[in-house]
Amino acid sequence: MRTDTGQLFRLEDYRPTDYLIPETELVFDLHPERTIVRATLVVQRREGVDISQPLILDGDELKLVSLSINGAPLGENGYQATPDRLEITDLPEENRFTLEIVTEINPTANRQLMGLYRSSGVYCTQCEAEGFRRITYFLDRPDVLSVYTVRIEASKQQAPVLLSNGNPVETGDLGPDRHFAVWHDPHPKPSYLFALVAGSLGSISDSFTTRSGRKVDLAIYVEHGKEARALYAMDALKRSMKWDEDAFGREYDLDVFNIVAVSDFNMGAMENKGLNVFNDKYVLADAETATDSDYAGIEAVIAHEYFHNWTGNRITCRDWFQLCLKEGLTVFRDHEFSADQRSRAVKRIAEVKTLKAHQFPEDTGPLAHPVRPRQYREINNFYTATVYEKGSEVVRMIRTILGPELFRKGMDLYFERHDGEAATIEDFIKAFEDAAGLELSQFALWYEQAGTPNLSVSFDYDAAEKTFAIEFEQSLKATPGQNRKKPMHVPIEFGLIGPDGREIVPVSADGMEVTGNVIHLRQRNETVRFTGIEERPVPSLLRGFSAPVTLASELPREDLIFLARHDGDPVGRWQALTKLLTGKLIAGVKRVRGGKAPLIGVDIVGLVGEIVADETLDPAFRALCLTLPGESDIAREMGSNIDPDAVLASRDALVKAIAVAHAKPFAMLYDALVNRGVFSPDAASAGRRALRNSLLDYLSVAEGNPSRAAAQYHASDNMTDRAAALGVLVHRFGGSESAAAALAAFEARFGGDPLVMDKWFSGQATRPGAAALDTVKDLMRHKLFSLDNPNRARALIGAFATANQTGFNRADGEAYRFFTETILKIDRENPQLAARLLTALRSWRSLEPVRREHARAALALIANADKLSTDVKDIVERTLG
Ligand code: PHE
Ligand code: ZN
C-alpha cells in the first residue's frame, strides 16, 4: 500500500508534458504471480523543449527489469528508478525515439484492484484514474494520448479468452501450453482507458449494425454457467447503441464491442475503449435473482459506459479536475436514455431522490466541493455524487436554458471541435455559447461554487391590478475553502395554476427575464411580476426540478395540498406531497423528543390514500407517493441535532396511521395488482410490483403480523417480490419465526451465489434498532462473507452504515467503534473502498450532542492510526476538518 505523501494537486498548476507518447506497444507474459510487461513506447519531445529536460514517468509499486532506448540498454547513470517513478536523463538528441521498459508485476498480490489483478482467477485491469502506472512506467495522465497495440501471452487452459482494447488482429499458438492474441486500437487514448482481460469465461454474442451500415460484433463475457443472465445487458447495450445514434447522432467506431463482468470491482463499471469491464452486479440478471431496481441499474450502467465512447473516450479530459466533463455529461446522457426507455416523470423523480439523498448531504457537509474541484490530494476520492449527479444537473440546466434544439447544436459543435482531444469545461461551455450566441459566464459558476443554493420565495397577488408577483432571494452558504459566494444563474421552470386546476398563461412578465416557462434568476434579490392574472393563482415552482437548489417558499399548506392534487407536472405534484409529508414527519420528531406521541392530521392521510387509489395515475408514480421520505431524508431536512430513534418513531407513526386508515382499499389493491403471466422487467410491470410491494409494507403494519409477507415470500416467482417480502419480514418482524424461516429459505436457495446473497446480507444489516450491530458482526463470519470483496463489504458494512440510521447511530457509539476498526482493516488491502465507506460519517456534525461526540471520537481513532492510505487520510481529515 502507498501511504500518504501529503501532496496537494492544484488546477492552476496544470502544465502540458514535455514529452508525448504517440505509440504504445505492450507485450504481456501473464503468470499469476510473476507477469512480465514489455512496453515499447514511441516518445516524442515537444517542439521547443530542451534536450536537458528529463523524461519523468509515473510508477506505483513497480519493479524495473530492464530499460533501453533505440534498442540500446541504458547505463545506470542514465536514469533513476524507484517503484513509483522513473526519471531518464540520458536521452538521445533526436526528438523522436523508442523507449523499451520491462517491468515485473504480481497480479495475485494486487488486492487494491487497481492496475492488473486477478478476480476469481481471471486477469483483469482497472486503470482509471491512476492504475496504469501499476503496470508500467508511463506518462499516466489523461492528456497524453497514444495508439496502443497489445499482445497477450497466457496459459491456454487458464486463459482461453484474451481481450484488449480496439480490434482483434491475430491469435496463435505458443507450444502445447500457451497461446497469444494481438489487439490494436486505432483511436489514440489516454492510459486510463487501457484494458486487458484474460481468463476462462463464458460468453454470449450478438451484433449491431450502425446507421452507416457498419456491422459490430458484440459479446458479453461472464463466469461459466451465467451466460443466460447476461441477455438483458445485451439487450440494453443494443438499445443504447441505437439511442446514441438517434438522440445525439453518435455512431460506434470499432469492429467489436466487448463487455466483461468480474466479481471483484471497486466501482460500478469502466468504459475502457471497446472493452468495458463491469462489476458483475451491473451485468447479471434474471427474474429469479434480480430485482426490478437491479434491472434498471443494469440498463443505466450499460448505457452509461457505452455513452462514454463519445463523452469520455473520443473526447477525454485534459486533467482530472475536469472529471465532470465526462462524468456529469455521461450521467446526463444515461438519464435521458432511461427516461426515453421508461416513464420520464418517474425517472426524473427517482433522480431527484438520489440527488437529494447523496449529493445534498455532500454539499452541506465537510466534504463539499465544486462540480469541478480546484484541488485534491487523492483523485479517487472525487468520484462523487457532486461530480456525477450534480454534474449531470448542470448539463440539464444548460439544456433548459438553451432549449433542446440549441442544446443539440452545442453538443454537435463540441463533438466537432474536440473529437480526438483532451478537453476542459471551458471548451464545453464555449461550444454552447457559440452555438446559441449566448454568454454563459455567470452560469459557469455552477462548476466553481460548492454548496446547494437556497431560494427563499414569497408571493403577492394584487386583485385590483390583476398582477401576481414572485419575490426571490438566493443564498449560498460557505463551504470548505469558499467563504464568499456570488449569485448564480438559476433556471426556474414554473406554472401558474388557476382555482379550476387549469394552467394560467400570463399576459406579460416584467422585472425578470422569463423565457417560455422558465424564470431566469440571476441576482441575489429579484421580483417577477405577471400581469393579466384574473384570479389568485397557485404557483408551481421548480417544475421538473429544473435546478439543484432548495426552496423555502411561504406557500400556504392549502396550496401545497392543491399542488399535490392538481399540478400538471408530476414532479411538481410529488414535490408538493413530499414537502407536506416532511413537515408532518419533522413535527412528529419534535413531539417524540418532547416525550409526546406524534399528531397526525386526517388531511395528509387522506391525500396519500387518494393518490394511491387514483387509477388514472401510473402505478410507479403512486408507489413513489406512497413511499414516505426515508429516515435520512427527514434528518437531512431537519439539518441539526438529529436523534435517529425519534426520527424512526415519527415515521413509523405516520406509516401506521396511513396503513390503518386505508387497510381495506389497500388490501383490495394489493390483490388486484398480483402478477399474472410470466415475469417481465419492463417499466410498467415494475411499477405495478413497486406499488404492490409498498402496499405490502403498510398492510403488514396495519395487520400487525407477518403472515401476509410470509405468504408473499413463499409464493413469489421473482426476486423483486421475494426481496420485498423478506425486507418486510426482517425490518418489521425481525426475530420472528417467519423472518427466520424466510432468511433460512433464502440462504438455502441462493447460498451458492454471493451476488444474490448480498441482498440477504443488506436486508439484515438494515433492520432498524440497536440489535443490528451484533447481527452484522455475526454475518462477518459467514462463509460467503469477505471484507476483500467490495460488493460483500458494501452489502454488509456499507448498507449498515448508510441505510440503518438507528442501528449505525446507536446512542452508545458502539457501532461507530466497530465501523472504525473495520475501515482500518479494509484500508490495509483496499484503500479506495475503505475511503468510500468512510464517507458514511460525513454528516456526523448534524447528530445530537451525545452521538456527535461518539462519532467524533471514532473518526479521531482513524485519524490517529498509523499507516493510513492517502485515500482514508484525505477523507478523515476533511471530515474532521
Ligand atoms: N469511469 C467509471 C464510470 O463512471 C467509474 C470508475 C472510476 C470506475 C474509477 C473505476 C475507477 O463509468
Ligand atoms: Zn462514467
* Residue in the structure block whose three cell numbers are 384570479: 535
Pick from 262, 19, 7: nearest CA to 130: 7
Q: Does 219 map to a domain? A: no
CA nearest ligand 1 atom 2, residue:
270
CATH number at residue 630: 1.25.50.10
C-alpha cell read off for 796: 454488509
Residue 625 neighbours by CB distance under 10 Å: 24
b/e map 548-586, b = 16+ CB within 10 Å: bbbbebebeeebbbbbbebbebbbbbbbbbbbbbbebbb
Whether 326 is in the pocket of ligand 1, judged by its Cβ within 6 Å, is no
Same domain, 631 and 526: no
Interval between CA 308 and ligand 2 midpoint (Å) = 7
- How far is C-alpha 247 from the geometric centre of its chain's CA atoms? 22
Give 657-682 as a DSSP string: HHHHHTHHHHHHHHHHT---SS---S
Does residue 166 sit in the same domain as residue 31?
yes
* Distance (Å) of CA 376 to CA 23, 132, 480, 793, 851: 30, 20, 13, 26, 30
Last residue of a domain, one of 448, 477, 503: 448
> Considering the domain boundaries, does residue 595 fall inside one?
no
Report CA(311)–ligand 1 centroid distance (Å).
Answer: 13
Active site residue 271: no
Domain with residue 378: its CATH number is 1.10.390.10
Ligand 1 proximity of 128 Cβ (cutoff 6 Å):
yes
CA-closest residue to ligand 1 atom 5: 270
Grid cell at residue 636: 437531512
User: What is the residue with the minimal CA distance to atom 1 of ligand 1?
Assistant: 270
pLDDT tens for 522-580 read 999 999 999 999 999 999 999 999 999 999 998 999 999 999 999 999 999 999 999 99
Closest Cα to atom 7 of ligand 1: 128
Q: What does each C-alpha distance from 721 to 289, 532, 629, 844 come to in angstroms? A: 11, 52, 21, 35
Q: Count Cβ atoms below 10 Å from residue 215 Cβ, excluding itself.
A: 9
- Predicted ipTM? 0.99
- The DSSP result for 115-152, as a single string, is EEEEETTEEEEE-TTTTGGGTS-B--STT--EEEEEEE
In the structure, what pLDDT confidence band is assigned to residue 4 with cuts at 50, 70 and 90?
low
Answer whether the bond into residue 129 is a cis peptide, omega within 30°: yes
Say how far apart CA 676 and CA 242 lie, in whole Å: 31
169-197 pLDDT, tens per residue?
A: 999 999 999 999 999 999 999 999 999 99
Q: What number does the ligand 1 atom closest to the CA of 380 have?
A: 9
DSSP string, 617-658: S-HHHHHHHHSPPPHHHHHHHH-SSB-HHHHHHHHHHHHHHH
Q: In this structure, is residue 208 part of a structural domain?
A: no
Q: Is the pLDDT of residue 1 over 90?
A: no
d(CA 706, CA 337): 39
- Contact (CB, 8 A) for 196 and 164: yes
| Terminal alpha carbon distance of the chain | 25
Contacts of 102 (CB under 8 A, 6+ apart): 36, 37, 38, 39, 64, 65, 66, 67
Give percent of the chain above pLDDT 90: 98
Residues paired with residue 509 on neighbouring β-strands, in sequence order:
530
The pLDDT assigned to 588 comes to 98
Query: If you measure from the C-alpha of residue 271 to the centroid of ligand 2, how many angstroms do you get, rounded to a whole number?
Result: 7
What Cα–Cα distance (Å) separates residue 382 from each residue in 129, 378, 802, 867?
10, 8, 19, 22
- Which atom in ligand 1 lies closest to the alpha carbon of residue 114? 11
Q: Is 225 left (phi over 0), alpha (psi -120 to 50) or beta?
A: left
* Ligand 1 contact, 126 CB (< 6 A): yes
Q: Give the integer Cα–Cα distance in Å for 390 and 431.
A: 20
- Residue of 114, 240, 270 to mutate, ligand 1, most atoms within 8 A of C-beta: 270
Ligand lying nearest the CA atom of residue 381: 1
Residue 488 belongs to a domain: yes
- Choose, from 100, 305, 351, 631, the residue flagged as catalytic: 305
Is residue 635 over pLDDT 70?
yes
The C-alpha angle with vertex 291 and arms to 113 and 278, in degrees rounded to 5, equals: 25
Largest CA distance in the chain: 95
* Ligand 1 atom nearest to 129, measured from its CA: 9
Looking at the CA of 268, which ligand is closest? 1
Q: Give the Cα separation of 143 and 17 in Å (integer).
A: 9
Query: What residues make up the domain containing 430?
Result: 316-448
- The CATH number assigned to the domain holding 541 equals 2.60.40.1840
Sign for the pseudo-dihedral over CA of 272, 274, 275, 278: positive
Strand partners, 219: 205, 258
Q: Is 130 in the pocket of ligand 1 (CB under 6 A)?
A: no
3-class SS at 459?
strand
Position 6 scores a pLDDT of 78
Distance 847 CA to ligand 1 centre (A): 32
- Ligand 1 nearest atom to the CA of residue 305, by list position: 12
Same domain, 866 and 732: yes
Tell me the best of 383, 387, 871 to mutate to test the pocket of ligand 1, counting ligand atoms within 8 Å of each CB and taking the most: 383
In the reported structure, the alpha carbon of residue 188 is separated from the centroid of ligand 1 by a whole-number distance in angstroms of 19
How remote is the CA of residue 128 from the centroid of ligand 1, in Å? 7
Asked whether 557 and 503 are in contact (CB, 8 A), the reply is: no
How far is residue 620's CA from residue 248's CA, in Å, rounded to a whole number? Answer: 28
Residues 631 and 491 in one domain: no
> Which atom of ligand 1 lies at the shortest distance from residue 388's CA?
4
From the CA of 131, give the closest atom in ligand 1. Answer: 11
Does residue 325 lie in a domain region? Answer: yes
Question: Which residues hold their Cβ within 5 A of ligand 2, which is an ion?
Answer: 327, 330
- Res 407 pLDDT > 90: yes
Phi/psi of residue 722, each to 5°? -70, -45
- Residue 271 beta carbon below 6 angstroms from any ligand 1 atom: yes
Distance 333 CA to ligand 2 centre (A): 10
- The ligand whose atoms approach the alpha carbon of 301 most closely is 1
Q: State in Å: Cα 9 to ligand 1 middle.
A: 20
Any atom of ligand 1 within 6 Å of the Cβ of 284? no
Cβ of 304 below 6 Å from ligand 1? yes
Q: Report whether residue 384 contacts ligand 1, using a CB cutoff of 6 Å.
A: no
Residue 402 has pLDDT above 90, yes or no: yes
Rounded (10°) angle between helices 631-638 and 570-593: 80
| Sign of the four-CA dihedral 355, 356, 357, 360 | positive
Q: Is any ligand 1 atom within 6 A of the Cβ of residue 269?
A: yes
CATH number of 88's domain:
2.60.40.1730
Average pLDDT over residues 150-160: 98
Task: Tell how far the Cα of 320 is from the centroid of ligand 2, in angstroms.
Answer: 13
3-state secondary structure of 81: strand
Ligand 1 center to residue 327 CA distance, Å?
9
**pLDDT tens, 761-813?**
999 999 999 999 999 999 999 999 999 999 999 999 999 999 999 999 999 99
Contacts for 184 with CB less than 8 Å, ≥ 6 apart = 148, 149, 150, 166, 167, 169
The pLDDT of residue 120 is: 96
Name the residue of 117, 267, 325 to mutate for ligand 1: max ligand atoms within 8 A of Cβ: 267
Ligand 1 atom nearest 271 alpha carbon:
12
What percent of the chain shows pLDDT beyond 70?
A: 100
**What is the per-residue pLDDT for 3?**
59
719 in the same domain as 764: yes
In terms of DSSP H, where are the helices of 158-260?
A: 231-248
Residue 844: DSSP 8-state: G
As a whole number of angstroms, the distance between CA 626 and CA 624 comes to 5
Judge whether 591 lies within some domain.
no
Same structural domain, 417 and 536: no
Are 726 and 853 part of one and the same domain?
yes
Residue 5 clears pLDDT 80, i.e. is over it: no
What CA–CA distance (Å, rounded) separates 612 from 624?
Answer: 10
Q: How far apart are CA 644 and CA 652, in angstroms?
A: 12
CA distance 699 to 719: 20
Last residue of a domain, one of 526, 547, 568: 547
Name which residue sits closest to atom 9 of ligand 1, judged by CA. Answer: 128
Mean pLDDT of the chain: 98
CA 497 from centre of chain = 36
What is the predicted pLDDT for the residue at 604? Answer: 96
Q: Where are the beta strands (DSSP E) in 77-228?
A: 79-82, 85-88, 96-105, 115-119, 122-126, 146-155, 161-164, 167-174, 178-189, 196-199, 202-209, 215-222
125, 128, 194, 832, best to mutate for ligand 1 pocket (most atoms within 8 Å of CB): 128
Query: pLDDT tens digits, residue range 415-442?
Result: 999 999 999 999 999 999 999 999 999 9
Mutate to test the pocket of ligand 1, among 140, 259, 271, 791 (most ligand atoms within 8 A of CB): 271
Q: 107 and 141 in one domain?
A: yes
Q: Give the integer Cα–Cα distance in Å for 187 and 197.
A: 19
pTM value is 0.99
Give yes or no: residues 374 and 486 share one domain.
no
Residues 444 and 466 in one domain: no
Q: What is the pLDDT of residues 450-483, one digit of tens each?
A: 999 999 999 999 999 999 999 999 999 999 999 9
- Taking residues 280-302, report their average pLDDT: 98
> Which residue's CA is minimally distant from atom 11 of ligand 1?
128
Q: Supply the pLDDT for residue 601.
A: 85
* 305 C-beta closer than 6 A to ligand 1: yes
- Closest by CA to 762, choosing from 732, 801, 733, is 801
267 located within any domain: no
Nearest atom in ligand 1 to the alpha carbon of residue 312 is 1
Whether ligand 1 lies within 6 angstroms of the CB of 244 is answered as no
Which residue type occupies 669? L
**DSSP result, 788-818:** TSHHHHIIIIIHHHHH-HHHHT-TTSHHHHH
Domain boundary among the residues 142, 167, 200 is at 200
Kindly give the distance from the C-alpha atom of residue 36 to the centroid of ligand 2, in angstroms, as a whole number.
30
Contact (CB, 8 A) for 696 and 710: no
Ligand nearest to the CA of 267: 1
Distance (Å, whole) CA 190 – CA 193: 6
Distance of alpha carbon 534 from alpha carbon 498, whole angstroms: 9
Q: Which residue has cell 426481496? A: 723
What domain count does the chain have? 4
Cα-to-centroid distance, 872 and ligand 2 (Å): 23
Residue 266 Cα to ligand 1 middle (Å): 9
DSSP 725: H
Nearest residue by C-alpha to atom 3 in ligand 1: 270
Q: How far apart are CA 68 and CA 102, in angstroms?
A: 9
One domain for residues 768 and 620: yes
Please tell me the distance from the alpha carbon of residue 718 to that of residue 680, in angstroms, as a whole number. Answer: 10
**Interatomic CA distance for residues 266 and 659, integer angstroms:** 40
427 domain residue, yes or no: yes
334/473 same-domain check: no
